[in-house]
Amino acid sequence: MEKSFSESYKAAGVDITAGYKAVELMKQHIARTVTAGAASDIGGFGGLFEMDLTGIEKPVLVSGTDGVGTKLKMAFLLDKHDTVGIDCVAMCVNDIICCGAKPLFFLDYIAVGKNFPEKIAQIVSGVAEGCVQSGCALIGGETAEMPGFYPEDEYDMAGFSVGVVDKAKVLDNKTITEGDVIVALPSSGVHSNGFSLVRKVFDVENADIKAPRAELGGKSVGETLLTPTKIYVKPMLALFEEVKVKAVSHITGGGFYENIPRSIPKGFGAKIKRDDVRVLPIFDLIAKEGNIPERDMFNTFNMGVGMSVVVSKEDAEKAVEILKANGEEAYIIGEIIKSDEGVVIC
């Protein structure tokens, strides 16, 4: 690639040599994510991964894809780009784990108005951190320089991950019965959903989002909102090993009312005890400053619960203990009831 250079392309706004430099800078971050199955170097035309199927009788591949959404605006405003990659990975691998699958690898796509290699490397450092947290390999990706399509200092990103699970261990919500317990795994904050509303509430383009706020324990609105999405893969895999998990919901856009029913069979609903939900201060502040009804809050945000897990009543205490032993301050927020209403918060 030393001889690859086009003055005409550069004059049109695309510097291919900057792309090569970005690849070189990101390699150190990618190296952190290498797992036993990673079988290719970055720079080829495809990412290779050799699966170890030891102990898996009927392997089922599970895939997930997502982006970071308008949370990226916060990264632009704060000029901080090393955490949004964690969000991108989290949104994909947290979905995969809901099926009982272990994420294997991840690929990202970053589109920029202008390729600043150091900024690209910062973004990829976050992607690599997300992969390390979830135990999957970053085996490839794409950086597209698109002048005239994106402003020079902005970008968009998305990604996808593939995982594997033995067919016999795919989570089956048909085993759900009345009286089963719903366990909550705390979120780290707003995660990567609802930012169009958040940005409107705080008027982030015009307000001072760097000022410390007492309501947020001295942190600024900007810092709090940019907190990366928590990745639940490792504690959930540990839970699957010891407890019969009946259903898992990743609480993303649409909040409780949209996401919890996705994992519950028809004829059953989730009864959530409102007073037991450990709502984070950022959500109280959003509701207050935006004058947002509580019903809308629970139908937009995770409200402090990033993931919910359904287990039998007999396994509930053990499930909480296992999750706590793996770094999650899990707690019980409700139970399964016979209902066609989906979610009842009372």
**pLDDT per residue over 151-198, tens digit each?**
999 999 999 999 999 999 999 999 999 999 999 999 999 999 999 999
The torsion region of residue 58 among left (phi > 0), alpha (psi -120 to 50) and beta comes to beta
Residue 219 and residue 224: Cα distance in Å, rounded?
A: 7
- Burial of residue 145 (CB within 10 Å: 0-12, 13-18, 19+) is buried
Instruction: Give residue-wise pLDDT tens across range 186-238.
Output: 999 999 999 999 999 999 999 999 999 999 999 999 999 999 999 999 999 99
Is the pLDDT at 44 greater than 60? The verdict is yes
CB atoms within 10 A of CB 302: 32
> In the predicted model, what is the mean pLDDT of residues 260-276?
96
**C-alpha–C-alpha distance, residues 11 and 28, integer Å:** 30
**Per-residue pLDDT at 27:** 85
Listed in sequence order, the residues at least 6 apart from 99 whose beta carbon sits closer than 8 Å to its beta carbon are 62, 163, 165, 170, 171
**Closest CA relative to residue 22, chosen from 112, 83, 92, 86:** 112
For 243-253, how does the pLDDT look when each residue is reduced to its tens digit (9 = 90+)?
999 999 999 99
Neighbouring residues of 35: CB distance < 8 A, sequence distance ≥ 6: 104, 105, 135, 136, 137
**Mean pLDDT, all residues of the chain:** 94
On the question of pLDDT at 269 being above 90, the answer is yes
- The predicted structure's pLDDT at residue 24: 86
Arithmetic mean of pLDDT, 306-315: 98
Nearest CA-CA partner of 52 in 39, 40, 64, 36: 36
What is the dihedral sign for C-alpha 151, 155, 156, 159?
A: positive
Judged against a pLDDT cut of 60, whether residue 1 lies above it is answered with no
- Tell me: pLDDT of 301 over 80: yes
- CA angle, corner 187, sides to 94 and 143, nearest 5? 50
**Whole-structure pTM value:** 0.94
**Residue 42 binned pLDDT confidence (cut-offs 50, 70, 90):** low
Q: How confident is the model at residue 265 (pLDDT cuts 50, 70, 90)?
A: very high
Residues 12-21 pLDDT 10s: 676 767 777 8
Condensed to tens digits (0 to 9), the pLDDT of residues 109-157 reads: 999 999 999 999 999 999 999 999 999 999 999 999 999 999 999 999 9
